[in-house]
Structure 1
Amino acid sequence: MMSEYHSFQWRFRFPGRSNSVFLKSLTMKGFKSFADPTLLEFEPGVTVVVGPNGSGKSNVVDAIAWVLGAQGPTTVRSGKMEDVVFAGTPDRPALGRAEVSLVIDNSSGSLPIEFTEVTVTRTLYRTGDSEYSLNGVPCRLLDIQELLSDAGVGRQQHVIVAQGQIDQVLNSRSEDRRAIVEEAAGILKFRRRKERAERRLLATEANLTRLQDLQREVRRQLRPLEKQADAAKRHGAVADELRAIRLFLTGQEIRSLEAAQAAAKDATAEAANEQVRLRGEIGRLDIEISTSESQLAVAGDPSTDLLPRVESLRERCRGLIALIEERSKTTERDRGALLASDVALTLQAELSRLVEELDGLSERGADIEQQLEEIIRTENQLQIEIESLEVDGPLIGLEAARKAAEVRGELGPLKRGLEQGSGEYERLTRRVSELTKQIDEADERLDLLQVALASASDAEPALVEDLDRAQKETELAEQRVTSLVEEQQLATKDEQAWRARVEALEIAAETALANSGLQQVSEIDGVLGVLGELIEIEPGWELAVEAAIGGILASVVVEDVVAARAALERLGRSEAPGSILAAHSPYNDAEKFEVPNALRRRVSGSNPHVDALLNSLLSTSICVDGGWAQAIDAALEQPELTVVTTDGDCFGPNGWSVSPRERTSAALALDEARDNLQIAAARREAADSERKIAEADSVDVRRRHREAQQRLDVNDDQLTRSADGIEKVQRQRRDLISESEIFTTRIDELNKALERDKPRVADLEGRLLELEAAERLERSAATEAHSQRQDLEQRIRTTAQSRVQLETSQNATAEQQQRIKDRHQEITSQLEANNKKGEENSDHLLRVDETLTALADLRDLLQERFELLDSEVGKLRAKRTELSTEVRLIADRLEALRRERSGLEKNLAETQELMGSNELAETERRFKLDSLKEMLRNELNAETSEALAAPEPSLEEAVTPSARVRELENDLRRMGPINPLALQEYEALKERHDFVAEQLDDVRSGRKELNKVIAAVDAEIVDVFEAAFKDVAHNFAQIFSTLFPGGQGRLTLSDADKMLETGIELEAKPSGKNVRKLSLLSGGERSLTALAFLFAIFRSRPSPFYVMDEVEAALDDINLHRFLELVSEFREEAQLVIVSHQKRTMEAADVLYGISMASGGSSRVLSEKVAS
């Protein structure tokens, strides 16, 4: 076993039994005195937990009860539930939570869950938060209770008998004992079912009352609405016919407009297709015109630009050949210099020659630069002239023609738009005036509705205040009724308690009287009565007198010995008990009472015989002031006297005794109980009277609350109707305003369009005249400009050829200058390094030979290319002369293309004009359609589909729909204003009335079904309870006779006619005793009787385990032996866990746990394994 759990066991014998165990283990962490984690493993049979007082062994029982759902702090012996958390000690701090886990073996399947082991865990934090879990899964307490209820472990936890609970079984009410039997019998689930049905029945009754009130109120409102609804129905019939005809006419108009719209759409589509085709043709012509213009711009042949490039390449090839020849010469000289004997002199001579050549090349380069600048200036001037021709040339004529066509295409639609816009402007202006008038009418209706709404709103706070006040009064009345009912119940309970006390005291008095034998000897001469009834004691001295002679107060007093002998003979013959005192006998000595503080002075007799007897009985009794300490001192000083105190303490030759402080005499107790009974009865009657008055007041208050609710409901209906009406009128007004704003916006747009288009038309007309004139003038100048452009282009080409030749010569000269400079630098370097590189001349000579060979190959290749380029230049110059005829043909084709494009532009303008006209007409039709649809929604509350589907109304012959519309409108005007909502309200209220009636029927049917369910559940409860009670009563009689040999015990029903409510009365008569009240039993007898009752329940309706805490503490050895024999019988049937101090109980255990309190203030489980 794990050491951190501090859990050990003494293991004893295990008799043969099933291995099925219900409780397997209990783990406590921070629970009460168990600060450290503690594990207890349970075994089959009897487990006994022992330990000294204060060690915490009873906390084990509390832990089991707590983890199984105990809710009251007193159930676990705490002031509040948070006290179960370890509170700490001076040596260790308090803990923040308590946790208990109980592992249950479910291998037998007793619990309805698919686990062989069930772990129930409960955790409580010091903050008050609590958690439950089953097998580690969070759950509710109800889940645990329902799971365990099927195994016989209910919420009352009758299987757990805690300290002091034994006596509660006898002291509890008969109804409480019934609850224990019901829990063991499994009646709790029936009770819960009945409670749910009763709660539903109460709710049903409340709903029934509410529905009946509602039905009366609805019926009252229904009558006046019926008349208004009839008028509204007649008005509605006329309005419906009018609406149907208007709907038909509007549908016809919409159908006509949509047909026209579809036709216009087709025409527009055709025009759009034609426009696309024309634009495509124009685009194609633009491409051809652009191509022709490009061909004309380059003189009709790409060779015009190719010739200068070929000539440039030829000249550059010639320059490269000259350059290679020059380089070859230089290389030959280098080779000759290397072969010469005096290399330095040769290099010096070559250096002088290079300087002369460089000077000549500089002069040649300056001449070429001057010629090149002159040619560039000429070329730039020619380019400026040709650009001027392009700006003023024939292309402007083409641009002017295109712009003129665009202006004509824009001007036509604008003119037609001006005419149509003016007509639409006038029509929309008239429609806006009509809408303004309708808006004013809506404002008037809105004002009336707002006045009604304001009136209802002003009344609302007062009505709400009245309802709140009535609600508070109702709640206060109900609270008062509840409080008085509770007060009456408390008073009744108090009365019953005092009545039981009076009965017990009266029975005790009757028993004492019966034991005195007075009934048997009362007819004998000389019998005076019972001593207690023949004396009178001064107030405050009753306990002292009882202490001195209490044992004989119930004895019968006779006059002399003769009467005493006769009384004894009578008692002997009747075999009845009795006690006889003779007033005059040889033992009486009247002089002995004369002692200081004699008790005799406080008592007087009813006759001289009794006084003489008192002189004898109290002659040696004195009373001292103070407590028992002073009485002991007096008794020691005068040992022959009997010393008593006013508290009932007694010290004399026969022994010393101290009376409990709360003790009172039997007579005083009976008188006090009777007085308190009368007071309690008076309190109960007064509470009952006040309750009845409060209930009557509550009925009146509820009636006022209903009336206030009804007034508020009526006002709320008025508010709702007014608000709905305002919302509807506001919606109509918003629609009218929206339509007016749309038309106003359209008017503004038309006005702006007219103001914008009129200047635009005038501007376009003037611009068109200018463009047409420019087109004519510029087309006439096209041919002359083209000729000038060709001459300038030829001069530009010639100048470009000269510029290319000069640039080639300039580049060749620059390259030769750079080459001479490089050679000059090279020779200079050679002269400086001649002395150092003499030995390398041979290698250098070899490289020079290789260079000469490569230069010769390159010169031959360039010579071939030069001859090829020279031939190509000749061919290109011959071809250029053939281009003049082709240029003329291109110009003629360009003119034809331009004429064809102008014709297509005219057709495109006409198509655009047609599309603009169609678009304007389509816009007008669409606007008219939108207006008709808006009118349908606002005035007829219909959609377009409904209007199109509207059938043609059947009218009399020669009556047109339009004429019928005018006739119906006149009828409506003659009918005057009606309540338009009356019919709707009547139908809604009638529907509500029918619905309430149906609900009433349903509620009554539901109430009947609930009563059937409750009756069925009651019958089931009665059957189950009768069977359980019969078994428990039978087993109680058997177990009681076992525990009390010769005794009789039985269970009876307090009211057998009321099986649902009757309690269980318990009667116990041990052998040799005639006891009619359980309160007269001794402590041990009470414990055995309670155990007999509990074990009778255990045997009748077994549970898998039982837990008992010191239930045998009050038993002597004989009764303990009987109890243990009973436990031995149950050992085979269930698992028992017993907390005990008794050695005999420990010996009967199968498993023994020892609990001790460690030095740190935490309980620990200590053990040691021993042999069986």
Structure 2
Amino acid sequence: MRGPDAMREADPGNADRGSGVTGAAEGAVVGVRTEAAEVAGAPGAPEPAVHRVPGPRSAPVPAAELVRGPGELTAAVARLLRDVVVVGTLEEAEELVAARPELMAVTGEGDLLGAHFAQGGSAGAPSLLEVQASVDEAAAELEELGARCAELAEAQRAASERRTAGAALVEELAERRRTADREKSKVAGDLGRLGGQARAAAGEAERCDAAAAKAEEALLRATEEAEELAERLAVAEEDPGVGEEEPDTSVRDRLAADGANARQTEMEARLQARTHEERVKALAGRADALDRGARAEREARARAERRRARLRHEAAVAGAVAAGARQLLAHVEVSAVRAEEERGAAERAKAGREQALVAERNQGRELKSELDKLTDSMHRGEVLGAEKRLRIEQLETKALEELGVEPAGLMSEYGPEQPVPPSPPAEGEVLPDDPEHPRNQPVPYARAEQEKRLKAAERAYQQLGKVNPLALEEFAALEERHKFLSEQLEDLKKTRADLMQVVKEVDERVEQVFTEAYRDTAREFEGVFARLFPGGEGRLVLTDPDDMLSTGVDVEARPPGKKVKRLSLLSGGERSLTAVALLVSIFKARPSPFYVMDEVEAALDDTNLQRLIRIMEELQESSQLIVITHQKRTMEVADALYGVSMQGDGVSKVISQRLH
């Protein structure tokens, strides 16, 4: 709950109405107290009645009922306090006002609470409302300062980001400036190189022009000489006299040589002129390329100059931005320091107010605990008194109903002032015969002694238990069941004796059959082993000859030439042949109509296989043998062969062949 000031800020209209009502209520209460005090202090005034203020969790009391005074003031007080009730705690006041907004609630601490206002208690110490209002105001200020700190921190972070961005921009502009300087130096070098090439090309062009002029002059001279010689030839051909004369061979040769020289000179002049023309064209093209390169370099220099100007402008802007960012960062740091100081002051104020609030709450809890203790003590006293009164009423009712004696007569005849008659003798106790003996005389009433006697009698009564009217019927049923169970037990004992006799007879028969079978098998085993291992020795030994029912049978086998008797030390073929010898011994001791053997001779060599085949032929005389084998010699002695093969479709096929 916020304080009155906060409530006035939240709702001005309600606050004005609340202030008026609060003032009126305060005036009414103060006025009533003053008048009551004056009336009480006046001589001859009646003693004012004392009314207890409602405790925690008690029903609200109208304030007018708690005021006593002269009759002429009671009506005015009742009108002033008609909507004011007194409650125990502030929580009850809140619940009451929430349920009935037209009422005003006053707590025992002096807090006044309405639907649209709240007023603290006395001025001597801050009430819970005032402390809570102060705490709420401090919390609001702390929240505002926290929000401001958050805003300043956000502004500082934004300024830091802008500063970082400005520094990065300055670094980028510096790097671009250095790159432009490097490009400028490169362009200047290219311009110098291209200027030298242009000058060299201009000199070469001048030389080519001079050579072309010389070639043209030589061409003109050769052309003139050729024309002159052609005219002379034409004149010579036209003049017959000259043709009739025998020409001089030297002149003709000289003229022929001069003509050849002239043609050669003309051809060389033409070739040289052609060469010079090609060179002039090449130089002109190169000069044009150099001019274009020079123009491109000048344009590149102009662009580089403009770029440098733009970079200088951007660097100036970045510097201004960095300076502004530094100033803004300085302001933000100052604001952050100020906000931190304000926050520290607010936190210290909050800590102080929290300490005061904790102290007030502790004091309130202590007072409330003391009040609860007093209230509980009073309630316990009231409950104890009510229980005593109820007990007295129950005893009076019981005396009337069970004994038919009025309470007054009961007290007069059996009260504490009457002597207590002697108690009856206990079990095994013998009373003295003398009537004057103290044991036979009444004794004065002693409450502790009589309470002990009462408890002893109650224990004896409880030990007797409740009376069971169906005890005889239950005893008869239990007796009949006991008889039935006894008969069943006798039958079980007799059946057990019969079963034990049957078990004994079975054990004797098993022992007899096993003993005879063991003796026959042991005798046959010695003979069969001697036939399969000529010169060897084998026998069967009982592990416990005294107990034929639980004894085991050990096989001792010593092939010829060996001293070992344990089967684990024999080879695979010897162990297999020993097992076959044991099986054959059992077959001979207790014959069977047929026997099935699965590759019993797989690990035997030819000699032992031949011995085993002879034994099989002996068994064949009295029994039928079914032998699964891969040995050819075993197949040779068989009466019928059955082959199992698998075709390409995965289905097994049986092929039979009878040999005899």
Q: TM-score, with normalisation over the residues of structure 1?
A: 0.16
User: Which of structures 1 and 2 has the larger relative contact order (alpha carbons within 8 angstroms, sep 6+)?
Assistant: 1
Task: Give the alignment's TM-score, normalised by structure 2.
Answer: 0.29
Query: Rg bigger for which structure?
Result: 2
